[in-house]
Structure 1
Amino acid sequence: MKSKFWTFLMVGLLGIFLVASWFIGIRFLRTGDVTAQLIGAGTIALTLIGSWVLFREISFGRGIERLGSQLYQEGGLPEDTVERSPGGRADRAQADKQFEKYKAQAEAKPDDWRSWFRLSMAYDTAGDRSRARQSMRRAIDMERTERTGQR
């Protein structure tokens, strides 16, 4: 619950920043100076990109939460059995062993979002954040397709 508070606080502050940037960009566009207008156009472009990234990350987080909740209800969340150092780092050998287990499950059931969710968690434990995000996006897309019946 504590992390959600900080997430909402940061999203709120970023939202205020994006709105303020939008209005500053508009003010720059209304000047008669070409340089200021270019700065205004750049500010508005960055505001739009920032808004898109924020929306995408919020959607990603909500998707993870939805899938994690569903797996929890089904009893399918993987157990975190990897030992950790006092600093929180996972034992590399154990993380690799756990990763191989979930990789084999994903290869055996490539059309099951649940196996990709678990593989994503194994990637994350092993410290490979980019592949963890890729696998999680794949799981979210697969679950959405399954839920909506679209292909």
Structure 2
Amino acid sequence: MPHPRRPSVRALTRRQFSRRQEPYRRRSRATRRNPLRRGVDRARRRAVALACLALVPCGALAAGVVALLCPARGPYCAVSGAVLGLLLFGSLAGTVAAALRWRLRALERRAADSWARSWRRVEPLWSGRALPWLPPDGP
């Protein structure tokens, strides 16, 4: 036990955090995760990140197809190759966007079904229609 008039060395060396820094510190240590956070939030973020990463190979594929189909022999071929590359990249990006939209709708549908199931369980108690201390057949 430290001396009553002398501060302990541990108290002097321990890092102090302000209240504003506390959430960031907890997040960096991955402790006390948010209990209200849904798994669908993480899945939605992951789907958007994968869609953004899928655009890079789409651009490379479009450039490769244009290089194979339109070798540069003149200014008109370069322009037509650029237009063809933009059209191909646009169609591939549209396909990625449609797949992302399909995935996000599926995630929302799953979240809505999960919420409806849990609300069916909670709603009678919340509204007061079914109180736990009353018999099931009513008062």
Tell me which interval the TM-score lies in, with the shorter structure as reference length: 0.3 to 0.5
Larger Rg: 2
When you count helix as a share of all residues, which structure comes out higher?
A: 1
Higher RCO (C-alpha 8 Å, min separation 6): 2
Q: TM-score, with normalisation over the residues of structure 2? A: 0.37
